[in-house]
Amino acid sequence: MGTCLALVATGPAPAGPEVASPPYPPTDRYEMRRVEGWPVLVSKDLIQNEPELAERTLMLLRHQLFQVARRVPAKAVEQLQRIRIWVEERESHTPCMAYHPDANWLREHGMNPEKAGCVELSNARNFLSWTLDQPWMVLHELAHGYHHQFLDHGFDNDEIKTLYEQAKTAQIYQSVLRINGKDDKAYAATNPMEYFAESSEAFFGTNDFYPYVRSELSRHDPKMFGLLATLWGGE
């Protein structure tokens, strides 16, 4: 009996079912860096396979984050710097950059759920080219994170929703001049989240839809201009 028990105790455990690999690169395939105070996870595949692309992407990201930090009020910058940024060579679910609010959505789409609550720079090449016309793209995505994580009731913030509905009723974003010289429906008209992010671009920097800059925003949408000053912490 003793011998049998010893054999059972020291023998190999029965094999369990194989655990499938996740359909996305695990988090340890990213290199953590600190860029202008932001935690940035850079794909090791991007660094190893496309070192020049990685360098140029991080150079531009650093420039945009520097602009955010020098323009946005300090308290809000401290909050924005809690939002991690992931950098990919190419991630198929988003064409350039995105803010991910929902871990379940990420799982359902075969993406790393650790990206929830983070900004993803999903296509390095598109980032380098698209930002020629959208120079405050990084702020736009960080503004989504600020809206979601740091404003009262997150994406259900009543003040933003109220002004969005007023702007929608007044149709002040129905047809505006775009940076390409054509009249188009403003991206701010999409929903309250884009309304806040697009207006924040104009408030602090330059948007690619009219109103482009803060003086134009103050004239075109004075209520939103005033609300942004309050929500971002005043100046």
Is residue 136 located within the same domain as residue 86?
Answer: yes
Question: Is 113 in a helix, a strand, or coil?
Answer: helix
Q: Is the pLDDT of residue 198 over 80?
A: yes
Give the count of domains, the chain: 2
pLDDT tens for 168-193 read 999 999 999 999 999 999 999 999 99
Give the type of residue at 111.
M
Q: How far apart are CA 211 and CA 188, in angstroms?
A: 10
User: Is 80 contained in some domain?
Assistant: yes
First to last CA, the chain: 81
Is residue 128 located within the same domain as residue 212?
Answer: no
Q: How far apart are CA 101 and CA 38, in angstroms?
A: 18
Q: Which helix (H) or strand (E) holds 78?
A: helix 74-80
3-state secondary structure 184-234: ECCHHHCCHHHHHHHHHHHHHCCCCECCCCHHHHHHHCHHHHHHHHHHCCC
Is residue 49 located within the same domain as residue 100?
Answer: yes
User: Is 200 contained in some domain?
Assistant: yes
pLDDT tens for 36-72 read 999 999 999 999 999 999 999 999 999 999 999 999 9
- pLDDT (0 to 100) of residue 19: 54
User: Is 225 contained in some domain?
Assistant: yes
- How much is the CA Rg of the chain, to the nearest whole Å? 22
- pLDDT (0 to 100) of residue 21: 77
Average pLDDT over residues 193-201: 99
Quick one: pLDDT band at residue 22, thresholds 50, 70, 90? confident
Structural domain span for residue 173: 157-231
Which of 146, 175, 208 is where one domain is finished?
Answer: 146
- pLDDT (0 to 100) of residue 2: 45
Is residue 103 located within the same domain as residue 177?
Answer: no
Is residue 164 located within the same domain as residue 136?
Answer: no
**140 near 111, Cβ under 8 Å?**
no
Is residue 162 located within the same domain as residue 140?
Answer: no
pLDDT tens for 80-132 read 999 999 999 999 999 999 999 999 999 999 999 999 999 999 999 999 999 99
Is residue 86 located within the same domain as residue 132?
Answer: yes
Is residue 85 located within the same domain as residue 43?
Answer: yes
- pLDDT (0 to 100) of residue 80: 99
Q: What's the chain's average pLDDT?
A: 93
Is residue 139 located within the same domain as residue 35?
Answer: yes
Quick one: pLDDT band at residue 18, thresholds 50, 70, 90? low
Which of 95, 113, 146 is where one domain is finished?
Answer: 146
**193 near 141, Cβ under 8 Å?**
no
pTM reported for the whole predicted model: 0.90
User: Is 3 contained in some domain?
Assistant: no
Q: Is the pLDDT of residue 134 over 70?
A: yes
- pLDDT (0 to 100) of residue 23: 86
User: Is 15 contained in some domain?
Assistant: no
User: Is 52 contained in some domain?
Assistant: yes
User: Is 96 contained in some domain?
Assistant: yes
